Amino acid sequence: MTGARHALASDVGDFVARVRRHTTLPVAVGFGISAPEHVAALRGVADAVVVGSAALDAIASAPAERRADALRAFVSGLAIAGRA
């Protein structure tokens, strides 16, 4: 699943656990991450998140002269949620 979503799949934790049984590499989740709440829910579950569509939406919805600021604010909100 790609693209921004309103909620994470209910089985994402189980899926990550299954992946971890097959690798010692860090595990990143990147299907539908679009809000700080998603990142917060993945703390302790995944090692990283991957954001694509939601970042592009943040850029596209801002006036041209504010796009960098909009992206910076969006990413900052996700980063804070990941550390909290």
Beta-bridged to residue 28, according to DSSP, are 48
Model confidence over 7-61: pLDDT tens digits? 788 899 999 999 999 999 999 998 889 999 999 999 999 999 999 999 999 999 9
- The Cα–Cα gap between 84 and 64 comes to 31
Would you say the pTM of this structure is higher than 0.95? no
